Amino acid sequence: MIRDLSTDEFAARYGADRFTATVLANRFRYIVEHVCGRLLTAAFSPILRDFYDFAATLAGPPAVDYATPAMSNSIVLFTGTMTDSVRNTINEYGADRLGPGDVIVANDPYRTGTHVNDLLFCRPVFDGDRLAGFVNLKAHQLDMGGVAPGGFSLTKHNVYETGLVLSPRALYRGGEPVRETWSLIFDNVRFGEILFPDMQTICAGLTLGERLLSETLDRYGFDAVQGAITYVCDAAAERMALALAAIPDGQWEGEDAADCDGVDDSEEYRIRVTITKRGDHAEVDFSGTSRQARTCINATALDAKTTVGVAFKYLFDPRTPFSSGAWRNIDIVLPEGTVISALPPDGAVFLYYEQSQVMIGALLRALAKAVGSSAIAGDRGTTDIHNASGVHPNGIPWVSAAQLGGELGPFGATEHGDADTWMLSYQANGIVGAVEAIESDVPAVLLREEPVPDSAGPGFNRGGTAVVRDSLWLQAASHNLMSLHYKRPAGFGVNGGGDGRNGGVWIWPPHGETPASPATGDGAYADSVPLAGLLNPDTNAPDPDGQFLYPYRQSSWHTDPLTVMRYINRGGGGWGDPFTREPERVLIDVRDGYVTVAGAARDYGVVIVGDPEEDPEGLVVDETATALLRVRRDDRPVAGPT
């Protein structure tokens, strides 16, 4: 154990004393957060500026196998792939070709994970003639070519349709731009007037990171910095090993699924996982997972590795920073050519993040059986990204990516309390864009954004509720949906908690020159055009017993000016038996609009008297009726992880 090393033994292993190694560990995280702050405050693209769709890491040199001691607190989907993607990129480019002032870029999903819009930038840092490490940024570019503006479409069939693929190459060499690389990119992308300053800002952030790491090397020395990189990753591996050793040995299975692909709804794509734990090691086996999909809903093996790391960090070591040491005691078995290990050219990758969400659902279901009360209920199971594009009257194109769909939604509950509602998803942990910024960028207006009562998974601790978002589109637009989790509840309950309810997507065409003004009750959907969901065929309203409406019967949905679009995403799962929830907490939920009076009685066995709309502060619990109702619930099925 690291803590058992003597002072001399620690210094011999890590090239520094404990205090210095701890200072450097914090310094590494300081560097990556500064790099992120530089980009966040100076980005032009809304997906960087408003959504935080990027991540920075600091990696060691090849001599320490690109060990990664610091990952930024931004999109976790990126950070787990970046140890491998930096290694793959630099090894292919050639570490011996690197020099001060270089920036190497790549975006091939099979080399670097995620999708082609996520461009990886690597800047080497030297200490004299010695390569000391890399400062890296992976940042989503607003467009990388391909058949759909912005790229957000799941009907692309192969790598040739997804967009420009960059093998590892120099963007800067010796501080000077490599013109052929810049020309290659800007000959193939839309919105160059946004991408160009964004890429310059990214490279400026890397320059900042290089300066900070160089100052660290000057102050503490090469050996101490290299030793601290190793120390951080060793400590992370040790913490994970201890956490695994603390639970009983066993084998657990979990499964989740995406509803369909962009061809038709004849095939579901299931992710099956078997987790075997012995001592302080675990094996995660994805054998039995569905074949790679026919359209670009696939992910790669690097994305699978990220999601495994995320699930284990959330459950076993949630209070310490992420580093590449987290995976050391975890073996991953992953057959080639599955929906989470796709191969080119036909295993196209774009919606990797949707498969990552399905994957973490399967992992959390399996591990819920291992960790007992520490289980985490399912979130909404999808990012629900909406992509719209069009052309302004002056001929300038516009795109809205991840702004006005179902991106805002709930988490699942834990033993620590109720889940939040206004979040993103477990792995797309960005930030929610400001409405004013969205409306200034695109011809749309956000009309409604509010919780959906009774949509949360009931439990002793309640899941987050689904969110309804109505947007008014002022110009003609093409809309691409990204929702793949309607057929079954994504927000699964744990430890006796209930599942969250699913929603859907609808549009209301205008009435001449007047936009529709839809209500929120079940009767509001009769005059809508339903696009997706598990819906009642007579009313078009969400219905757990309804019929699945395939969202991609059109590759994109074209709307006239003044069309209203509605998203209702999915409720998060509950934790614990809902009939043990304190009646006072249920009353507060009714008062605040998360639960209806009828839902309180049905889902929690709590009888609330009063009018939550007209007199919310006058609500009271009927204690006698509640006691009787809770006694009579013996035959009520209690949900759990499935």
DSSP class per residue in 386-447: EEEEEE-TTS-EEEEESSSSS-SBPPPPBTTBPPPSSB--SS----PPPHHHHHHHSSEEEE
Tokens of 314: 């959330």
Whole-angstrom Cα distance, residue 568 to residue 229? 45
Whole-angstrom Cα distance, residue 510 to residue 560? 8
Residues 6+ apart with CB under 8 A from 242: 280
pLDDT digits (tens, 9 = 90+) for 46-104: 889 888 899 999 999 999 999 999 999 888 888 878 889 999 999 999 999 999 999 99
Give me the helices (H) in 62-191, please: 76-93, 109-112, 159-162, 179-186
- Going 138 to 139 to 145 to 148, the CA torsion angle's sign is positive
Whole-angstrom Cα distance, residue 166 to residue 110? 11
Q: Supply the pLDDT for residue 521.
A: 86
Tokens of 39: 């980009």
Q: Does the model's pTM come out above 0.75?
A: yes
Q: Supply the pLDDT for residue 81.
A: 80
Q: Supply the pLDDT for residue 541.
A: 95
Whole-angstrom Cα distance, residue 8 to residue 5? 8
Q: Supply the pLDDT for residue 638.
A: 45
pLDDT digits (tens, 9 = 90+) for 576-587: 999 999 999 999
Tokens of 347: 């295993």
How far apart, in Å, are the Cα atoms of 357 and each of 124, 139, 347, 484? 33, 20, 18, 10
pLDDT digits (tens, 9 = 90+) for 372-430: 999 999 999 988 889 999 999 999 999 898 889 999 899 999 999 999 999 988 988 77
How far apart, in Å, are the Cα atoms of 91 and each of 131, 200, 545, 630? 14, 25, 53, 63
pLDDT digits (tens, 9 = 90+) for 207-244: 999 999 999 999 999 999 999 999 999 999 999 999 99
Whole-angstrom Cα distance, residue 528 to residue 613? 26
* Residue ranges, the chain, pLDDT below 70: 634-642
